[in-house]
Copies of this chain bind each other. A is one copy, B any other.
Amino acid sequence: MAPDRLFAGLFAHGDGAAQATDRALLDAMVEVEVALLEALADLRLAPAEAARELADAVASGNLELDLDELGRATGQQGTPVPGLLRALRRQIGSAASTHLHKGATSQDVIDTAIMLVARRALDSIVADLGEAGDACAALVERHRAALVPGRTLLQQALPVTFGLKAAGWLSGLDGSTATLATIRDHELAVQFGGAVGTLASLGERGLEVGAGIAARLGLATAELPWHAIRLRPARLAAGLGITLGLLGKIGRDVVLLAQTEVGEAGEGGGEGRGGSSTMPHKRNPVGAVALVACAQRGPGLVATMLAAMAQEHERGAGGWQAEWETLLELLRLTGSGAAIAKELLAGLQVDPEKMRSDMDITGGLVMSESVAAALADSQGRSNAQDLVEAAARRSVEAGRGFRDVLLERPEVTDVLGAAGLDAALDPAGYLGVTSELIDRAVAAHRGP
């Protein structure tokens, strides 16, 4: 959990969010400086002693880097890097001090450190989403046949099963997870270009140094420095935003299922979770609400990242800087959402009886398409529809059961009989390819 945040339990929950704090970014900046100096030493562009001094100082755990002081210095020079270098130089040996940051510019350090933070956060997020998918797959299988009204525009339309509904969530989770894993593995590259992208101060060795940094940090190398071509952060932001959108879909569905009047599902969770001491009948869908809330904050932040792409010449004058906290926030929100989704889906309490009984609210009208289909062979599609519509209207207007009204019609009794009509009115018999779709979703989740 990210520290010192009053709303951390909602917006900075779980491992992914914990990887994306300001402190984590600062630590990553130090790691970038270490990797740079080690890469320089490997190529004999800096003495091995310098690299060792720096690595030792970092490994000692005694480095003091004051976030408040560095934060203030950011206002003086536009990035925290000069302040960080000053603070490091006060605490490391003279060889390290001399060669620290050689060949790099502030942007190299910040961009690469953000990529590193993103890599670690995505590791956690992908893992949490994977577990959320596992929990969802278990729901799919447990409730694959549990009838529930399919709802369009929040109106009951035709039957589905809760398994199919959860299969939709599952396919979305798997799709999001795959997208983020791809981004983690291919988009997160070292930025190393020096002041303007030419690496001039390293002569002809700059690209080798960059490759060395990438190898040490476990990041990809980029074809070209990307200091002013911001496809990588934009794609990362978009992937996070899309994942948040998907989590918001799941959260909203659960909020709706958990309504007092619907009560088809509810959140589990330990003592006190979502409870209200003054209203003991209430169990607030806290996790689902948190998912919706995280999701609602995504689009605006993604918009900021996209709007920031038009960065001037060799370093943006405002756009680049606007990315920093925005990207960290997106990582935290997605991390929090993934962790919450995992817990929510693992603990979701499903009430198949309530689902089944909600199928009956319309007195069978929800099955009218099925009845029309059953009559289509004998009467033609059009006539069958007309007959059913008339019966449905009569049922609604007269307040009589749809089945009763239908049984008065000889076209129905002659062709289907009461048993045939009951079959046509049975939601379980009108599920189309539900089972096959569920199989597909589960198989895709399990992988080859």
Q: How far is the CA of A303 from the CA of B260 in the complex (A)?
A: 31
The digit string for A343-387, where 1 denotes a CB below 8 A from any CB of B, is 000000000000000100110011011101100000011100100
The answer to whether B224 and A231 have CB atoms under 8 Å apart is: no
A78 contacts B by Cβ under 8 Å = yes
Contacts of A381 in B (CB 8 A): 98-99, 102
Q: Which of A6-64 contact B (CB under 8 A)?
A: 6-13, 22-23, 25-26
- Nearest chain-B residue to A208 (Cβ)? B433
Contacts of A198 in B (CB 8 A): 150, 158-160, 164, 430-434, 437
A275 contacts B by Cβ under 8 Å = yes
Q: Supply 26 A–B pairs (Cβ within 8 Å), ascending by A.
A: A5-B22, A7-B325, A9-B73, A13-B75, A77-B275, A98-B382, A153-B316, A155-B258, A157-B279, A175-B229, A200-B369, A201-B432, A207-B436, A229-B246, A231-B242, A248-B310, A249-B309, A252-B318, A261-B262, A279-B365, A280-B368, A281-B362, A281-B392, A292-B319, A293-B318, A293-B319
A304 contacts B by Cβ under 8 Å = yes
Q: Which of A153, A203, A206, A306 has the most CB of B within 10 A?
A: A153
The digit string for A276-302, where 1 denotes a CB below 8 A from any CB of B, is 011111111110111111011111111
Return the contact of A361 from the options B260, B284, B290 (Cβ within 8 A).
B260
Question: Given contacts A8-B75, A296-B322, A300-B303, are A433 and B207 in contact (CB under 8 A)?
Answer: yes
The answer to whether A309 and B281 have CB atoms under 8 Å apart is: no
CB distance from A259 to the nearest CB of B (A): 5
Contacts of A302 in B (CB 8 A): 238, 299-300, 302-303, 306
The answer to whether A229 and B74 have CB atoms under 8 Å apart is: no
Contacts of A285 in B (CB 8 A): 153-155, 317
A404 contacts B by Cβ under 8 Å = no
The answer to whether B67 and A306 have CB atoms under 8 Å apart is: no
The answer to whether A361 and B261 have CB atoms under 8 Å apart is: yes
Q: Which of A415-448 contact B (CB under 8 A)?
A: 430-434, 436-437, 440-441, 444
Q: How far is the CA of A6 from the CA of B299 in the complex (A)?
A: 24
A interface residues, how many (CB within 8 angstroms): 178
CB distance from A328 to the nearest CB of B (A): 9
A411 contacts B by Cβ under 8 Å = no
- Nearest chain-B residue to A390 (Cβ)? B280
Contacts of A218 in B (CB 8 A): none
A199 contacts B by Cβ under 8 Å = yes
- Nearest chain-B residue to A438 (Cβ)? B224
Q: How far is the CA of A160 from the CA of B230 in the complex (A)?
A: 19
The answer to whether B306 and A197 have CB atoms under 8 Å apart is: no
Contacts of A373 in B (CB 8 A): 201
Contacts of A78 in B (CB 8 A): 10, 153, 274, 284, 286, 289-290
The answer to whether B4 and A67 have CB atoms under 8 Å apart is: yes
The answer to whether A25 and B6 have CB atoms under 8 Å apart is: yes
A141 contacts B by Cβ under 8 Å = no
A130 contacts B by Cβ under 8 Å = no
The answer to whether B260 and A437 have CB atoms under 8 Å apart is: no
The answer to whether A77 and B273 have CB atoms under 8 Å apart is: yes
A403 contacts B by Cβ under 8 Å = no
Return the contact of A195 from the options B150, B303, B441 (Cβ within 8 A).
B150
A408 contacts B by Cβ under 8 Å = no
- Nearest chain-B residue to A281 (Cβ)? B365
A334 contacts B by Cβ under 8 Å = no
A214 contacts B by Cβ under 8 Å = no
The answer to whether B74 and A7 have CB atoms under 8 Å apart is: yes
